[in-house]
Amino acid sequence: MEDLSRIQRLEERVAQLEQEIRSMKEGMHFPPPQAEPSVATTPPERSGTSPVYRPAAPKKIDWEHLIAKVWLPRIFMFVLLIGVVWGFKAAVDGGLLTEELRCVIGFAAGGLLLFAGFRQQKKQRGLLAQVLMGGSVALFMLTTFAAHYWYGFINTPVSFFIHLVWVALALVLSYRSQSQFLAVFAVFAGVLTPFLVKSTSPSPIFFTIYESLLFIAFLIYASVRRMPVLFYTTFALSHLAYIFFQLSVGFEEITTLGIIVQQLVLTLLAFVYLPFSKPQLQVLLTGFGLSALWSVGSYEPANFSWIMLASAALYGGFAIWFKRKSDTKLPYATSLTLYALVFFCLKSADGDTLPTLLLLEGFIGLVLGFYMKSSLQKLASFVIYIGGGLAAYAQLIDGMDTVFSWNLLTWLVGLSTLYGLRTLLLKDTEKQSFLADVTKVLSFGIGLLGLVFLTDLTLAVLADFNSNVKYLSVSAVWVGYAAAFIAYGVIKDVKKFRLAGLALLFLTLGKIVFFDLPSVSVLIRAVLFIGFGGIGILISRFIYSRKSS
């Protein structure tokens, strides 16, 4: 009896639990259980309570926030500063303010702006606080400049030191408020400082050391704090400062050395300091070009060539290192290596060897670009190759004087690299359909340039013969070239080659009729027509015999 009562109590408890679970399901609107679909049946439709995933709506620009909180305080702070300057001028013109009182008011106004900036920062009004702090530093620098340059209260060393204090203040404020705007303002003030002090004989050595240290410090700060705008601004302002200094003092080798040192630091930041590398890599190519231009204008050709060779060795070493590590910076290193070699060739090679060197360098770069699948590498190498092609055109336009000359080598290198480029493009035509059209145009260009090369070579070989022999030989070469196209097309069963050969045959016939006949004797005319007619019949016979077989 005791066992039966225990079983009965358990059954009642189970029934009570089932009732509670059922009520909980009804309260939470759970869907009824469904049987799993079999392989042959389609799965049941989802319940209406299932979540529906929709793409996120594009984020709208809050123009009120952008205008009222970002740009409005910056613009009107500038307006306020202009008003202060005009107010000072009016007071000075009226004789109300002495020179000492003007400086005191300027520093006091800067302090009030700085105090107001801290107050706004405590109230979580960060954008307004940054503008007030930037305005205070600007007012401090303007007042220091006036006290030194206009009134003579402060000598040059003290004025320079005080300006550096304001630069450091702006940098500290940027760090505390995590403001890129204040950091940009600080680097602008730092670059401007040497031009705000009076100096009868500016020192290129002092200027170079100062600007280089400032450049390095702010580049490192921008890299550590991940501030791309500060990075770009530092790079641009540094070169502008060097330009203004060189215009006022003249070109000095020591200032160019400072630019080279800055490029080395930029290289180390871009290639060694791994985080935040995109802005550094983007600036690196531009920086190398600018440093090369500074060097070519300041150093002797021999020294410039050594600098470019050293740069090629440096970037080539980085390229080998990145290749072993499979690093994404490899295209940048190889591009810089190629550009260093290009500058070396432009300064060291003479006019005859330069086209060949540029064509080879550009082609090697294209091969590396296709191998690494790097668009940047391809673009850089293509620019070099186009430059080599233009230089080759300028060299070959007058024709070959002798057979064994630099013109012959330029022709061979140009045609070989074009054929190699066509081979590279053919490998990518399956992935990119538009390359098929480019390959067709390139193939036509190679065939046409081959005809021009054979004509130039024939005329160089027959330079000492009369015009009759030259006309006859050139026509014979054209016919042989057409026959080679037709034979290849027939043997390999390529219709395009057969049609190109036939078109060249008719082009040769037009050349004979319109250009050769008026200038050659009757005997040469007979030889031309008999030979050309016989070759045409033989070619026709060859085509049909191969087709029938």
pLDDT digits (tens, 9 = 90+) for 166-202: 888 888 888 888 888 888 888 988 888 888 887 777 7
CB 418 within 8 A of CB 446: yes
Q: What is the predicted pLDDT for the residue at 429?
A: 58
Instruction: State the pLDDT at residue 331.
Output: 84
- Span 478-507, average pLDDT: 81
Q: Is the pLDDT score of 206 beyond 80?
A: yes
Give the CA-trace dihedral at 457, 458, 464, 467, to 10 degrees. -140
- Tokens found for residue 440: 């067709």
Tens of pLDDT along 393-425?
998 888 888 888 888 999 999 999 999 988 888
Q: What is the mean pLDDT of residues 432-460?
A: 83
The pLDDT of residue 52 is: 44
Q: Are 385 and 358 in contact (CB under 8 A)?
A: yes
Note the residue count of the chain.
549
Tell me how many helices (H) and strands (E) the chain has.
20, 0
Which tokens sit at 408? 């012959």
**pLDDT higher than 90, residue 313:** yes
Amino acid at 128: L
User: Are 260 and 303 a contacting pair, CB within 8 Å?
Assistant: no
Is the model's pLDDT at 75 over the cut of 60? yes
Rounded Cα gap, residues 118 and 133, in angstroms: 8
Position 36 scores a pLDDT of: 43
Mean pLDDT of 443-462: 89
Tokens matching residue 421: 């480029």
| Least trusted range by pLDDT, from 20-24, 411-415, 500-504 | 20-24
Residue with tokens 């400086």: 103
pLDDT value of position 42: 44
What are the pLDDT digits (tens) for 314-332? 999 998 998 888 777 888 8
Domain boundaries, the chain: 94-200, 465-546
Block residue for tokens 């090697």: 364
pLDDT at 327: 72
Tokens encoding 239: 């070169």
Lowest mean pLDDT among 111-115, 230-234, 278-282: 278-282
Q: How far is 230 from 151, CA to CA, in rounded Å?
A: 34
pLDDT at 41: 43
Instruction: Return the closest-CA partner of residue 374 out of 430, 332, 336.
Output: 332
Nearest to 384 by CA among 360, 411, 406: 360
Choice between 57 and 275, residue whose per-residue pLDDT is larger: 275
- Between the ranges 27-31, 265-269, 499-503, where is the mean pLDDT highest? 265-269
Over 80: is that where the pLDDT of 21 sits? no
Q: pTM for the whole thing?
A: 0.62
Scored b (16 or more CB within 10 A) or e, 37-71 reads eeeeeeeeeeeeeeeeeeeeeeeeeeeeeeeeebe
Structure tokens at 498: 């057969």
For residue 445, which amino acid is it?
A: G
Rg (the chain; Cα; Å): 39
Mean predicted lDDT score pLDDT of the chain: 79
- Cβ contact 266:223 at 8 Å: no
What letters, b where the CB count within 10 A reaches 16 and e where it falls short, cover 462-492? beeeeebebbbbbbbbbbebbbebbbebbee
The fraction of the chain above a pLDDT of 70, given in percent, is: 80
* Region for 95 from its dihedrals, namely left if φ exceeds 0, alpha if ψ lies in -120 to 50, beta otherwise: left
Specify whether the CB–CB gap between 103 and 148 falls below 8 A: no
In this prediction, residue 96 has a pLDDT band, given cuts at 50, 70 and 90, of low
pLDDT confidence of residue 44:
46
Identity of residue 371: Y
> What does the pLDDT read at residue 185?
83
Q: Could you tell me the CA-to-CA distances from 5 to 1, 16, 138, 172 in Å, in that order?
A: 6, 17, 93, 83
pLDDT digits (tens, 9 = 90+) for 30-55: 444 444 444 444 444 444 444 444 44
CA-angle at 539, arms to 535 and 541, nearest 5° = 115
Residue 17 predicted with pLDDT over 80: no
pLDDT of residue 284: 84
**CA 39 from centre of chain:** 56
More confident residue, 334 or 3: 334
Among 81-85, 273-277, 492-496, top mean pLDDT goes to 492-496
Asked if residues 390 and 354 have their Cβ atoms less than 8 Å apart, the reply is: no
Is residue 81 over pLDDT 70?
no
DSSP string, 80-122: HHHHHHHHHHHHHHTT---HHHHHHHHHHHHHHHHHHHHHHHH
